[in-house]
Amino acid sequence: MIRTSTPQIELRHLHRVFDRTHAVNDVSFEVYAGEVFGYIGPNGAGKTTSMRILATLDEPTAGDAFVDGFSVIDDPDRVRRRLGFMPDYFGTYENVNVTEYLDFFARAYGLVGQERLRAIGEVMDFTLLGTMAHKPINGLSKGMKQRLCLGRTMIHNPSVLILDEPAAGLDPRARIELREMIDRLAAAGKAILISSHILTELAEISHRVAIIEQGRLLAVGSVAEISSGVQTRGTARVRVLRDADKLAHWLAERRDISDLKLDGDLTTFSHAGNRESEAILLREIVEAGFPVIEFGAKHKSLEDVFLHVTEGRVQ
Amino acid sequence: MSFDATNLELAANPESPATSAGNPSRAALLWQSIERFLSRAGDWLNPILVKETRQAIKSSQFTITFVLVLAACWVATIAIVAWIGPRIFYSAEGSTLLAGYLSILAFPLIIVVPLASYRSLIAEREDNTYDLLSITTLRPRQIISGKLGSSIAQMAVYFSAIMPCLAFTYLLRGVDLPTIALVLTFMFFWSLGLSMVGILLATLTLQRFLQVLILVAFVAGLIYMFLMAIAMSGTLAYWGRDLWSPNGEAWYVIAALATAYFTTFALAYFAAAGMITFTSENRSTPLRLCMLIQCAAFIGWMSGAWIADDYAREAVFVLASMAGAYWYAMGTMLTAERPTVSQRVRRRLPQSFLGRIFLSWLNPGPGTGYMFVVANLTALAILCWIGMMASDILPTRLRTWPSFEELSYLLTIGWGYIVAYLGIGLLIVGTLRRFAFVTMLATVLIQFLLLLAGFGIPYAIKSMSLELRDADYSFLQITDPFFTLYHLLDGGSADGPVLVLIVPGVALCVLLLNMPRVVRELRIIREAAPQRVAQDEAELHPPPEALPQSPWDEPA
């Protein structure tokens, strides 16, 4: 990730009100070049609305958003040159094949001559759509359409990509391929804002995430940073060579342990604390003379954090 | 698989001779060079035109219509020739056949092409491609031009289908080439105008039920236009050659119609582009300029008519009535503009003292829009007044209607009504905007409802009152501009002095009440572009290198 002084994407106290619904309520965050920024929240949280504002498809009620330093309100044309937006729908034309589709968008972004042909070629190579060049779009599978849409999004080589649910409805292989493509785009220095419901995947590719609910931003940071700020109980398991029942009694006496379960030589329990406290606990178990052969702790995943931070409210 | 970008155009057509041959022949090389030239030329075409032409060629709608036109031409040829019979050898029957062919051509041109234009833009919204299109660097005017270009491309194909038939009509005699060209030009512009209307209608609303209503009305209108086109093109086919007579006044009519057509077309074009333009952009100034040009053209033609008609006051009356109605209609839309001026628009506001004095009325905003209408109405009233006085001085035939007095009342009181109604509407909308967001459509409706109330309420009271029912005119009807002006022109000049005091007086009061808003909008001044924008602008359009001005100057 390239942390430059100016962010590629900046939301500054963004508000969007539809009649009585405050879809986006004072949202502010920044995304830098080379960063993959996950944008997560339940349905109706305001993710798509903020993304549409960034893509110059909607106007904020208050506040502003900037792409590469240009306001989406006052300089939408400059924003559009720098931004690729992949919405959560395909948007395809009838009687058009893959090449013609990409050619149209390349022309629409003002690419001419060899520059246009090179852009189409690069996108075809990147998305592995070369074999489908003359296939009608309506005959493509969902995964192929999604690749094509990603290709369309990057046809003018934008420095900022906004991907709204790009992995929705894809099979596991297509998801892995999409993830690899996003990794490569980030490595090429592009700032990527991505929303997804598949939190495990988002956690893997995102450098930082923002959690939004009911239009309000609840947390921003890396998954570890957010996890550390969230007071949840972790789960751990200990397997000992012998004296498993004694270990269970020993653990039960501790105040920071609960939900204790003994299953043969394996003891599972939940505890309050972080990784450091887990290490202390392990040392104390060993010092107490228990022959530990396995110790594992399940750390808070993005899903855990998400479930803890959000309350599942929908506007 | 690695995609060969450099051969993209050829790859799109694997059967092209350049790729099928191992050693390219001279013909293949020629073909390649032609293809390269066309590819380069295609770079400068509107992307939407390219895409839609590609789509149209593959679409069944286009194929079916094209085949139907061809088949209909064949059937018509056989049927009309059979009907003419042996007369074909000695009688000039070209006009009969031309009228038949034009009726066939009218179907795709007047119904299919405009409807396809309407559907094309609506389908972009339905299929979610409009969002994708609007975030490209294509400007709204390019989108509208592309859609119009696509209509022209379709028309060209239909024209080419019917061209051999038209040549046949010429061979049969009875119709000359200029007449054929005139009729085809007429059909072309008719179809193009309707396509523009279709595109404008498609931009009006995103609500599905309103779109359905508009579609039904549009189709009904197209059917009516289709029947009109058949009748008019038939008339031109039979009597078009009469237009070529040197003293034909019809050319003046055609020129006046062409002026009205092109100015209205420009207005519709900028209105459609404005409807799909991002809200922070200045959508108002091009429309106001179009209105000015259209009004100036109308004044020009009416001045011509006034001179041609021996400086008669009727021409001044027609000018004042029609221009008044025009500016009222435009005023309802101009007062519906958003009261906020974006930073983007502020960067391009007139800066100099003179620029701010003369060009501020073109700035977006309901207050400046109102003043723009008032200024135009005032200028128009003064012009009509001068014309009216000239009609009295210059030698003219005896005219009895409208009298100098009647016409002067019409000008003063008509001006007052428009200024007052638009101003009251603006005050109401301004008050409503403090509590809620008022759309453009709502503002236009409020303006029309206000006028309707001013005309309807006194009418209802008069109808229900036994005393007033049979009375000719009473001051109860003072809010009714139609009845009041009719009364003044129909021998009611006695009430003129009172009305001249009341109506323009109220108008001036309303104008004064609106002045704070107007001043507020005029106080918005030009703002410098942010540094980031200036930097980007400098990168996009670097200043030209300074050239040496004299032999002693150092090169840059």
Contact A91 B279 (CB under 8 A): no
Contact B136 A108 (CB under 8 A): yes
**Are A168 and A218 found together in one domain?**
yes
Q: pLDDT tier at A2 (50, 70, 90 boundaries)?
A: low
Examine the pLDDT at A262 and tell me if it is beyond 60: yes
**Are A191 and A287 found together in one domain?**
no
**Are A223 and A237 found together in one domain?**
no
Question: Using a CB-CB distance cutoff of 8 angstroms, which residues of chain B are in contact with residue A103?
Answer: 8, 50
The pLDDT tens digits of the residues spanning A78-90 come to 999 999 999 988 8
Residue A1 lies in a domain: no
Query: Which member of B137, B343, B536 has the closest CB to residue A74?
Result: B343
Residue B12: the pLDDT is 45
Residue B464: the pLDDT is 85
**Are A142 and A255 found together in one domain?**
no
Query: Which member of A74, A95, A104 has the closest CB to residue B47?
Result: A104
Least confident of B57-66, B209-218, B389-398, B404-413: B389-398
Query: Which chain A residue has the Cα nearest residue B281?
Result: A74
Buried b (16+ CB within 10 A) or exposed e, A152-185: bbbbbebbbbbbbbbbeebeeebbebbbebbeeb
**Are A176 and A258 found together in one domain?**
no
ipTM surpassing 0.95, yes or no? no
**Across residues B483-509, what is the average pLDDT?**
88
Asked if residues B327 and B376 have their Cβ atoms less than 8 Å apart, the reply is: yes
**Largest interatomic CA distance in chain A:** 78
Distance separating alpha carbons of residues A282 and A294, to the nearest angstrom = 10
Measured in angstroms, the CA of B136 and the nearest CA of chain A are apart by 5
Residue B199: the pLDDT is 95
Name which of A193, A211, A257 is nearest A35 in CA terms. Answer: A193
Of A181, A207, A228, the one marking the end of a domain is A228
Contact A121 B128 (CB under 8 A): no
Contact B1 A93 (CB under 8 A): no
Question: Using a CB-CB distance cutoff of 8 angstroms, which residues of chain A are in contact with residue B278?
Answer: 56, 59, 76
Question: Using a CB-CB distance cutoff of 8 angstroms, which residues of chain A are in contact with residue B14?
Answer: 134
Query: Which chain B residue has the Cα nearest residue A56?
Result: B135
Tokens of A80: 């559009």
Examine the pLDDT at A260 and tell me if it is beyond 90: no
Examine the pLDDT at B8 and tell me if it is beyond 80: no
Q: Which domain holds residue A148?
A: 9-228
**CATH code, domain carrying A290:** 3.30.70.100
Query: Which member of A70, A104, A130 has the closest CB to residue B533?
Result: A70
Contact A134 B138 (CB under 8 A): no
Query: Which member of B50, B55, B137 has the closest CB to residue A94?
Result: B55
The pLDDT tens digits of the residues spanning A197-225 come to 777 778 888 899 998 888 898 888 887 77
Measured in angstroms, the CA of A267 and the nearest CA of chain B are apart by 53
To which residue do tokens 């059937």 refer?
Answer: B75
Question: Using a CB-CB distance cutoff of 8 angstroms, which residues of chain A are in contact with residue B2?
Answer: 125, 130
Of A196, A211, A228, the one marking the end of a domain is A228
Asked if residues B53 and B150 have their Cβ atoms less than 8 Å apart, the reply is: yes
**Are A179 and A295 found together in one domain?**
no
The pLDDT tens digits of the residues spanning A156-188 come to 999 999 999 888 877 788 888 888 889 999 999
Tokens of B266: 């420009």
Residue B545: the pLDDT is 72
Residue B10: the pLDDT is 43
Contact A108 B54 (CB under 8 A): no
Residue B38: the pLDDT is 82
**Are A195 and A290 found together in one domain?**
no
Name which of A26, A12, A49, A40 is nearest A223 in CA terms. Answer: A40
Q: Which residues contact B71 (CB under 8 A, 6 or more apart)?
A: none
**Are A206 and A253 found together in one domain?**
no
Measured in angstroms, the CA of A279 and the nearest CA of chain B are apart by 50
Of A174, A202, A228, the one marking the end of a domain is A228
State percent of chain B over pLDDT 90.
37
The pLDDT tens digits of the residues spanning A43-79 come to 888 999 999 999 999 888 889 999 999 999 888 889 9
The pLDDT tens digits of the residues spanning B458-490 come to 888 888 887 777 778 888 889 999 989 988 888
Query: Which member of A77, A93, A108 has the closest CB to residue B47?
Result: A108
* R_g of chain B computed on alpha carbons: 30
- Whole-angstrom CA distances from B551 to A223, B390, B544, B546, B554 are 68, 62, 19, 14, 8
**Are A182 and A283 found together in one domain?**
no
**Are A199 and A79 found together in one domain?**
yes
Distance separating alpha carbons of residues B24 and B218, to the nearest angstrom = 53
Residue B278: the pLDDT is 84
Examine the pLDDT at A41 and tell me if it is beyond 90: no
Q: pLDDT tier at B5 (50, 70, 90 boundaries)?
A: very low
Across all residues in chain A, what is the average pLDDT?
A: 86
Examine the pLDDT at A154 and tell me if it is beyond 60: yes
Examine the pLDDT at B11 and tell me if it is beyond 50: no
**CATH code, domain carrying A108:** 3.40.50.300
Question: Using a CB-CB distance cutoff of 8 angstroms, which residues of chain A are in contact with residue B6?
Answer: 114, 117-118, 121
Query: Which member of B47, B55, B278 has the closest CB to residue A95?
Result: B55
**Are A71 and A136 found together in one domain?**
yes
Count structural domains, chain A: 2
Examine the pLDDT at A116 and tell me if it is beyond 70: yes
Residue A123 lies in a domain: yes
**Across residues B174-202, what is the average pLDDT?**
91
**Are A105 and A248 found together in one domain?**
no
Residues present in chain B in total: 556
